[in-house]
Amino acid sequence: MKETPQEAKPEKDVDMPAKKRKGKRAGIVVGVVAGIVIVAGAGFWVWHEQPSFCATVCHDTMGSYLESYESGDMLAHAHAQAGVTCLDCHEPVIEDQLAELQVQVSGDYRLPLAKMETDDEFCLRDGCHTREEIVSALDGYTFPDGTPVNPHEITFSTDYSSTESPHSVGGDTIPCSTCHTMHRDSNGIEYCYTCHHTKTAKPCYDCHDHR
C-alpha cells in the first residue's frame, strides 16, 4: 500500500536524532573545555599572587628579591614573617606588568632594579604601620656616647629642638625610605652618622656655626 503524502515523514525528521546527539556531544565538549579554562585560570591567578610567581616568570631579575623575601635579615623577610605578600606593596597594575614583561623579554634592564619610590603615607596606611608604633619601636635607644635618643621621634617631629630642626627639609621630615629599604641593606642608624660623624648626639650647632 502506497503511503499518502500526509503519512510520509520528511527526510529531515529522519536525521533529527543523529543531529541531536551531535549537538549534545558538542555541548558537553564545550562545557568541559570551559570548565578546564576556568579552573586553569583560577589556579593561575592564585599562583600569580604568590611570591614564587615573580621569580619563575622573571628569574633573572626577581631571583634575589624573592630570596630576600623568603629568608635573611632584610626588611622584606620581616614583612614576610608578618604575613605581608608581594602584592600588598607591589600593586598589580596591568600597564606596569605589561611594561615589565616587555623589559624582561627584551633584556633591556639593569640590576639592581630601580628602587620603588614610596612616601610615608604608603607605610602608614591602614593595616600597616602607625607613627606611635614606629616611635615606640626604638624607645630607649642610645647613641654610642650613651645619650638616649630615639631616631624615630626625631624624624617624626619637625620641631624637635628649640631652633629650626636639622631633621626637616622644607618643613618635611626625613622620609622612612631614606633609612629603610626592603630588599637591600637598610641605612639604619648609619644614616645618622653621615651628619653625626663623631657618633654623638650633640647638635650640629655645638661645633658648627649656623649663622
pLDDT digits (tens, 9 = 90+) for 180-198: 999 999 988 888 888 888 8
Q: Which residue has the higher pLDDT, 26 or 111?
A: 111
Phi, psi angles (nearest 5°) of residue 2: -80, 135
Mean pLDDT (whole number) for 25-49: 64
Q: Is the pLDDT of residue 1 over 60?
A: no
Residue 208 has pLDDT above 80, yes or no: no
Q: Read off the amino acid at residue 60.
A: D
Cell 628569574: give the residue: 59
Q: What is the pLDDT of residue 53?
A: 67
Check the CA dihedral 206-207-210-211 and report its sign. Answer: positive
Give the span between the Cα atoms of 50 and 92, in whole angstroms. Answer: 12
pLDDT digits (tens, 9 = 90+) for 117-161: 888 889 998 889 998 898 898 888 898 888 888 888 877 765 555
CA triple 61-184-188, angle to 5 deg: 165
**Residue 46 near residue 96 (C-beta atoms within 8 A):** no
Q: CA 119 to CA 203: how far, in whole Å? A: 27
Confidence (pLDDT) at 210: 62
27: left (phi over 0), alpha (psi -120 to 50) or beta: alpha
* Confidence check: pLDDT of 51 > 70: no
pTM: 0.63
Range of weakest confidence among 26-35, 185-194, 200-209: 26-35
Give the torsion through C-alpha atoms of 124, 129, 130, 131, to 10 deg.
-80
Residue 104: per-residue pLDDT: 77
Q: Is 105 exposed, middle or buried (0-12, 13-18, 19+ CB in 10 A)?
A: exposed
Domain layout of the chain by residue ranges:
22-106, 120-206
Express as a percent the part of the chain with pLDDT over 70.
66
Three-state secondary-structure class, residue 142: strand
Cβ neighbors of 74 (< 8 A, separation 6 or more) are 68, 181, 182, 183, 184, 185, 186
